[in-house]
Amino acid sequence: AEGCQTLSATLGRLTALAQLDLSNNKLGDHGGVLSTALAALCQVTSLNLSACGLEAAGGITVASALKNMTKVTSLDLSSNMLRLKGAQTVASSLVHMQLLASLNLRDNKMGFEGYTAITQSLGQHPHLKDFWLEKFCLEGHSNVVTCVVWSPDGTKLASAS
């Protein structure tokens, strides 16, 4: 937690930062400590928080910061454990990110309802070109979706499993 607080304080002073890659740092549910700092980074266009050990609570706090990060074009939250609640909160934040062109949410165990929340929120993203849900297990279903691609109007373009 102390390391996250130090990082948060440092990020709070870097308001002109355009790219932030914190991948493979074990933030866990301390991601909330970073929420205020992330929200202040309104110039960030690329945010990578993959494999940070974010679970539902950490995902929720990060998602609240994403609402202010309207210039993000690339977001990677892969290989975390967002689960349903984290996915629903991220989905509500995606509405504010109209410039989003690349979204990676693979390996988050968000289940069918989380998957649905995310895909429904993406229907109004005119710039979205890349969307990953690789190795996405639909809990309670026997199939594994390896890749799903959606058009900006919400139409499924391709999938493979």
pLDDT tens readout for residues 66-91: 998 999 999 999 999 999 999 999 99
Instruction: Count other C-beta atoms under 10 Å from residue 157's C-beta.
Output: 9
pLDDT in tens, 28-62: 776 556 777 787 788 899 999 999 999 988 888 88
The amino acid occupying position 40 is A
**Are 116 and 88 within 8 A, CB to CB?**
no
pLDDT in tens, 85-126: 999 999 999 989 999 999 999 888 888 788 888 888 887 788
Q: Summarize the confidence of residues 143-148 as an average pLDDT.
A: 49
The token duo for 31 is 């991601």
Query: Which residues fall within 8 angstroms of residue 108, CB to CB, at 6 or more apart?
Result: 77, 78, 79, 80, 81, 82, 83, 86, 87, 114, 136
Query: What is the pairing mode between strands 144-145 and 147-150?
Result: unpaired
The token duo for 26 is 């074990």
Give the H/E segment covering residue 116.
Answer: helix 111-121
Concatenate the DSSP letters of all residues of 68-112 into one string: T-TT--EEE--SSB-HHHHHHHHHHHHTT-TT--EEE--S---HH
